[in-house]
Structure 1
């Protein structure tokens, strides 16, 4: 099921990339899977404080559709589902690293400006 809010066709690469990582949690899901490897749903949820179950499910489904996340279902009782990054997910995470570095270098300033503006 494709999310109707998603765009395409795109007019440039940044447009397509931003559509794939849009939403507060997708880049954080990428980071969590990159830092900790394969995770079960509950482990992902614990690693992302503040994410709702509904939002995590939605983002994981979209990321699976986009080929960023692999969902592996083990045929056991109780059901066991694991999530990991695909090759595309790893490459996107690598591309986002320079943006993360930019944020780390300016995190204090960004926070202070947001406080002043409030």
Structure 2
């Protein structure tokens, strides 16, 4: 397997720095243990209440889920919908159109992860 990236034109230090900065920004927004798991759960389940989301994202505490949802909402990936007309008040979380722009990234990461796991197993056994 070849580990080189092919660019259309030579990589300058300035372009390299720009790419690194962009990747750093992306990782800052969606990085960490839980954010992509939450985004994927919302994509797959549609409108979902907090407790149900916590059950789906196994292992996450209520406090961490709350903080991650606030962060995802600030960055435009999640919308919090409050149904105040119901008693008790119902709060649902939904993924935004903007969060769906991550689908190609998630699919590429999934494919890469599958290949990586296969390579590791082949190297070990």
Segments of 4+ moved more than 4 angstroms: 108-113
Distance 1:94 1:79, change over 3 A: farther
Q: Does 1:39 align with 2:37?
A: no
User: What corresponds to 1:55 in structure 2?
Assistant: 64
User: What corresponds to 2:37 in structure 1?
Assistant: 28
Q: Does 1:99 align with 2:109?
A: yes
User: What corresponds to 1:4 in structure 2?
Assistant: none
Provide structure 1 residue ranges, at least 5 long, that are not aligned to the other structure: 1-10
Partners of 1:34 and 1:93 within 8 A in 2: no
Distance 1:38 1:58, change over 3 A: same
Provide structure 2 residue ranges, at least 5 long, that are not aligned to the other structure: 1-19
- CA RMSD after TM alignment: 2.1
| Greater relative CO, 1 or 2 (CA 8 Å, sep 6+) | 1
Query: What TM-score, normalized by structure 1, do the two folds share?
Result: 0.78
Partners of 1:68 and 1:89 within 8 A in 2: yes
Q: Deviations over 1:4-62 (max 9, x none)?
A: xxxxxxx7221111111122000000111111111110110010110000000000000
Q: Deviations over 1:52-87 (max 9, x none)?
A: 000000000000000000100001221201111111
SS at match of 1:102: helix
Distance 2:121 2:87 in 1: 46
Deviation of 1:109 (Å)? 5.4
Distance 1:108 1:64, change over 3 A: same
Query: What TM-score, normalized by structure 2, do the two folds share?
Result: 0.74
Larger radius of gyration: 2
After the TM superposition, which of the residue ranges 74-83 and 57-66 deviates more from structure 2? 74-83
Q: How many residues align?
A: 104
